[in-house]
Amino acid sequence: MSLPEVDVCIIGSGAGGAPMALELGRAGFKVVVLEKGRHYQPQDFIHDEILNSRRNFFMPLPWEEPHLVRHGAQSRYERSNVAWTANCVGGGTVHMSGFFYRLKPVDFRLRSTLGAVSGSTLADWPISYEELAPFYDKAEAELGVSGEAVPHPFAEPRSGPYPLPPLDVHPVASEIDKACKAMGWHSLPTARGIISRPYRGRAPCSYCSLCGSYGCETGAKSGTNASLIPAALATGNVDLRPGCMARSVEVDKQGRAKSVIYLDENGVVQEQPAKVVVVSCTAVESARLLLNSTSGRFPRGLANGSGLVGKNLLFSSFGESYATFRVSKQGEARPWLKDPAPFVNRSVQDFYLLPDSRFGFRKGGTLGFMWAHPNPIHAAVELAGDGKSALFGKALKDKMREYRDSRILQFEVYAEWLPTSGTYVSVSEDTKDKYGIPVAAITVERHPMDFAATRFLVERGEEVLLRLDPDDVRRKGVMGETTILQHGTCRFGNDAAASVLDKHCRAHEVPNLYVVDGSFMPTGGSVPSTLTIAANSFRVAHHLVRAMKG
Amino acid sequence: MPRAHSPRSRLSRRSFIQRLSFFGGGVVLLGSACKRSEEKAKAPPADPGPLGATVNGQALRTFSAFEYAAVAAACERILPRDEDAGALDADVPVYIDRILQTPALETIRDDFLSGVAALERRSQRMFQKGFSALTPEQQDELLALFRDSPPKSGEAHFFELLTVMTLEGYLGDPSYGGNKGKVGWKLMGFGAVGTVAMAPPEGHDGPKCLRECGLHHGGAHK
């Protein structure tokens, strides 16, 4: 059954899909948004760890909708739920922490800056920071971002202040400021996609402390579910369909996208014809959708004549350490330990790009400081440990009592993930999800430089923590990957033989097909990329509205 | 062609506990070795006998009275009562009994029940008594034996499931049946550092929200 044709069909309602829906709806085009997940309302967001963090409220179950993941092409795939972001209206922006950094000018020309890097498929972007900057301004204003720009060696140029003043921070932030200053580094306020004041009819943050991993019950977190989607629906031109899983994008005889086949919330197959199709399901899932959209014209998957769809997958390189302060020992001397304020909001970017490669790398990244997440089950499972060293009984309860007496300050590293030919998405012919659709298979083969950079950053972060004189500093790891930050599977570029999308994120091979999640990014930058994805989507929408209006 | 070999063993714990940044809270679904339900070896379930009731008269949904006694004893060894509340004080076994009724956790339920049966068998073999009749020292010895079994063995898997589910029952929202009187949160200090709106509102029903929140049944299209 085919539904009436619309101007634009957008698949996905997160950081990429929502700006398109809003701008196209505002411009008067008829838009359908297909979202595979549910449409949660603020009252559905409850501080219930089991609900939010330990079941399929946000993430699909790995035995129903697995990703296959392997490290190296010689290993076996494991079924996993890694590399999913939230499946619901708003996507990953619903349960994000909302660290809203911008990329820096160097991120747009990393290949030119570093030269050829052996073992990496590094490429420059076809646009500059200056071309994206106005759309960063727009994304910050539309979503609602709180922050304060301060000068530092890697500060990206801005046209003005943030739309909202910074959130209140915990007193430990000024301790971090002092520690950094003593070392000649710059402690920067971290901009957040959380509103600090009433903004466009939304209530400000209530400082509840359960932010990342949770939906925001007050709507202060600037997920697209709280900001762009309601505005898009208010245009009257946008038809949002939750519970609708896209199966393929179909093409006509000329090789133009003509419709999206999807399973509706009752499991019935529907066909939605559209003049333009916009794909925005995350870098992994968008690649999967295109690779599953085979036809006589595109036997290897839609827009994949080049064979590049799914290639050059990027996550973010991750490391972290924890500093523990015992309140009973230190509380007297440091009364601020008992302050309940949830936000630290401090970053260090002094090592974003090193002047030479004496440490084995040049492109470093960002350190973000925060209090450890207060989820008690998660914390207790960590305390219990696993394998033969797992604790139970009194030993476990003693650890839990120690935890009660602790405040745990940590940092996270967001370091460059160099693109390699060994890290990519393909689809599995043998493994299908509960809808009967072949699942995404992810192969990861990391560049050794990533680890050198991440380790270096972890060591710098520990220097800051140690200056605060905690009872204990514990390194969690330097070889992690943040798989909710996804990019690169449909690189944009000017050369159709070396990229999937053109500079407007339109497929080189399919003139009415756009991809606007993180897939377009040839390099991921060394910050969380949510704001960049939204800004780019506003940029693409600006272009598309003009193109469609002729 | 990408192919997942032996889904049960391939879906390792690592897949679940891999750190996803920003999910400071951890996206950690239950336990290890979760297989796809359609691929599991369907051994005919042993007749558990009639479902029982707890000492407080709560009707059981998953366990027989016999199984429940073993589960209760095992949970209490994971988190024994001392100067702070133990697993039984928090109604942890009630939590486990109820949560194992979640349809999506069917495979976990099967694994858990097999684990309880294995614990009983081992207890009979070693001590000629049911697990719940052992001394606490004997119970600890047996649990440590399960813990120290080879990493992918059923015994090690059960120990991990038992630990994780005991902690969920001790520290989860009380609407799931455990954490009675919020004793778990008191022990961990959850809420002590929080400000407003830390705990869920009175009357919150987690299991119901998991089933129904955000669903809009009916025609999606005009």
Domain ranges of chain B: 50-189
What is the reported pLDDT for B108? 87
Residue A32 pairs in a beta bridge with A9, A239
Q: Which of A345, A342, A343 is nearest to A191 (CA)?
A: A345
- Cβ of B4 within 8 Å of Cβ of A393? The answer is no
In angstroms, the CA B186 to CA B97 distance is: 23
Whose structure tokens read 């000649």?
A: A184
In angstroms, the CA A488 to CA A444 distance is: 13
What distance in Å separates residue B30's CA from the closest CA in chain A?
A: 7
Whose structure tokens read 């940029």?
A: A539
Mutate: best of A36, A81, A407, partner B, most B CBs <10 A? A81
What is the reported pLDDT for B104? 80
What is the reported pLDDT for B47? 52
CA angle A152, A157, A160 (to 5 degrees): 105
The H or E element spanning position A234 is: helix A228-234
List Cβ neighbours of B181 (8 Å cut-off, separation of 6 or more).
B85, B89, B90
Residue A487 pairs in a beta bridge with A314
In angstroms, the CA A196 to CA A98 distance is: 13
B 2-61: CB under 8 A from A: 2-5, 7, 10-16, 18-30, 34-37
pLDDT digits (tens, 9 = 90+) for A362-407: 999 999 999 999 899 999 999 999 999 999 999 999 999 999 999 9
Indicate if the pLDDT at residue B179 is higher than 50: yes
pLDDT digits (tens, 9 = 90+) for A316-327: 999 999 999 999
What distance in Å separates residue A170's CA from the closest CA in chain B?
A: 12
Q: What is the mean pLDDT of residues B115-120?
A: 96
Rounded to the nearest integer, the mean pLDDT of chain B is 76
The answer to whether residue B164 neighbours chain A at the CB level (below 8 Å) is yes
Contacts of B27 in chain A (CB under 8 A): 53-54, 58-59, 81, 213
Sign, CA torsion A351/A357/A358/A361: positive
Strands (E), A243-308: 245-251, 257-263, 269-279
In angstroms, the CA B197 to CA B175 distance is: 17
What is the reported pLDDT for A350? 97
The answer to whether residue B217 neighbours chain A at the CB level (below 8 Å) is yes
DSSP codes of every residue in A414-451? EE-----TT-EEEEEEEEE-TTSPEEEEEEE---HHHH
The secondary structure of residue A162, as a DSSP letter, is -
Under the banding of pLDDT at 50, 70 and 90, the label for residue B170 is: very high
Q: What is the mean pLDDT of residues A115-136?
A: 98
List Cβ neighbours of A515 (8 Å cut-off, separation of 6 or more).
A278, A279, A280, A286, A290, A490, A500, A501, A505, A507
- Proportion of chain B above pLDDT 90, given as a percent: 52
Indicate if the pLDDT at residue B41 is higher than 70: no
What is the reported pLDDT for B58? 79
- Cβ of A40 within 8 Å of Cβ of B214? The answer is yes
A 283-322: CB under 8 A from B: 316, 318, 320
Indicate if the pLDDT at residue A127 is higher than 70: yes
Indicate if the pLDDT at residue B30 is higher than 60: no
- Cβ of B4 within 8 Å of Cβ of A61? The answer is no
- Determine contact, residues A11/A34, Cβ cutoff 8 Å: yes
In angstroms, the CA B209 to CA B96 distance is: 18
Indicate if the pLDDT at residue B9 is higher than 60: no
Under the banding of pLDDT at 50, 70 and 90, the label for residue B222 is: very low
Burial of B31 (0-12, 13-18, 19+ CB in 10 A): buried
In angstroms, the CA A511 to CA A540 distance is: 14
Under the banding of pLDDT at 50, 70 and 90, the label for residue B138 is: very high
Q: Name the token pair of A541.
A: 């929408």
Mutate: best of B17, B27, B108, B210, partner A, most A CBs <10 A? B27
- For A272, the closest chain B residue by CA position comes to B221
B215: left (phi over 0), alpha (psi -120 to 50) or beta: beta
Q: What is the mean pLDDT of residues A62-74?
A: 92
Residue A411 pairs in a beta bridge with A321, A369
In angstroms, the CA A182 to CA B130 distance is: 64
Could you say which of A78, A338, A404 has the minimum Cβ distance to residue B188? A404
Find the distance separating the first CA and the last CA of chain B, reported in whole Å. Answer: 41
Q: Name the token pair of A314.
A: 């990027």
In angstroms, the CA A331 to CA A335 distance is: 5
The answer to whether residue A30 neighbours chain B at the CB level (below 8 Å) is no
- Proportion of chain A above pLDDT 70, given as a percent: 100
**Measured CA distances, A344 to A189, A196, A298, A373, A429 (Å):** 9, 14, 50, 12, 46
Find the distance separating the first CA and the last CA of chain A, reported in whole Å. Answer: 31
Could you say which of A209, A476, A482 has the minimum Cβ distance to residue B194? A209
What distance in Å separates residue A350's CA from the closest CA in chain B?
A: 21
What is the reported pLDDT for B48? 52
Sign, CA torsion B210/B216/B219/B222: negative
* Stronger pLDDT, B23 or B178, i.e. the higher one: B178
List Cβ neighbours of A326 (8 Å cut-off, separation of 6 or more).
A402, A405, A406, A471
Contacts of B77 in chain A (CB under 8 A): 392-393
Contacts of A428 in chain B (CB under 8 A): 1-4
Backbone phi, psi, residue A177, to 5°:
-55, -45
The answer to whether residue B89 neighbours chain A at the CB level (below 8 Å) is no
What distance in Å separates residue B21's CA from the closest CA in chain A?
A: 5
- Proportion of chain A above pLDDT 90, given as a percent: 91
Query: How crowded is residue A256: how many other Cβ atoms within 10 Å of its Cβ?
Result: 15
Could you say which of B15, B20, B188 has the minimum Cβ distance to residue A380? B188
The H or E element spanning position B71 is: helix B65-78
pLDDT digits (tens, 9 = 90+) for A179-194: 999 999 999 999 999 9
pLDDT digits (tens, 9 = 90+) for A30-39: 999 999 999 9
Indicate if the pLDDT at residue B150 is higher than 70: yes
Q: What is the mean pLDDT of residues A121-148?
A: 98
Indicate if the pLDDT at residue A126 is higher than 70: yes
- Cβ of A213 within 8 Å of Cβ of B27? The answer is yes
Torsion of CA A368, A374, A376, A378, to 10 degrees: -20
pLDDT digits (tens, 9 = 90+) for A298-357: 999 999 999 999 999 999 999 999 999 999 999 999 999 988 899 999 999 999 999 999
pLDDT digits (tens, 9 = 90+) for B56-84: 777 888 999 999 999 999 999 999 999 99
Under the banding of pLDDT at 50, 70 and 90, the label for residue B40 is: very low
The answer to whether residue B220 neighbours chain A at the CB level (below 8 Å) is yes
Under the banding of pLDDT at 50, 70 and 90, the label for residue B196 is: very low
The H or E element spanning position B60 is: strand B59-64
List the domains of chain A with CATH numbers: 6-549 (3.50.50.60)
- Determine contact, residues A316/A485, Cβ cutoff 8 Å: yes
Contacts of A47 in chain B (CB under 8 A): 197-200
What is the reported pLDDT for B156? 93
DSSP codes of every residue in A333-372? T-GGGG-------EEE-TTSB-SS-TTS-SB-EEEEEEEP
- For B137, the closest chain A residue by CA position comes to A393
What is the reported pLDDT for A1? 60
Contacts of B200 in chain A (CB under 8 A): 46-48
What is the reported pLDDT for B25? 40
- Cβ of B11 within 8 Å of Cβ of A270? The answer is no
pLDDT digits (tens, 9 = 90+) for A77-106: 998 889 999 999 999 999 999 999 999 999
Q: What share of chain A is helix, strand, coil (3-state, %, to 5)?
A: 25, 25, 50
- Determine contact, residues A345/A189, Cβ cutoff 8 Å: yes
List Cβ neighbours of A504 (8 Å cut-off, separation of 6 or more).
A514, A540, A543, A544
- The whole model's pTM is what? 0.92
- Cβ of B26 within 8 Å of Cβ of A208? The answer is no
Contacts of B20 in chain A (CB under 8 A): 82, 482-484
Contacts of A53 in chain B (CB under 8 A): 23, 25-28
Q: Name the token pair of A518.
A: 């993180």
Rounded to the nearest integer, the mean pLDDT of chain A is 96
- For A87, the closest chain B residue by CA position comes to B214
Could you say which of A76, A217, A266 has the minimum Cβ distance to residue B10? A76
The answer to whether residue B145 neighbours chain A at the CB level (below 8 Å) is no
What is the reported pLDDT for B198? 63
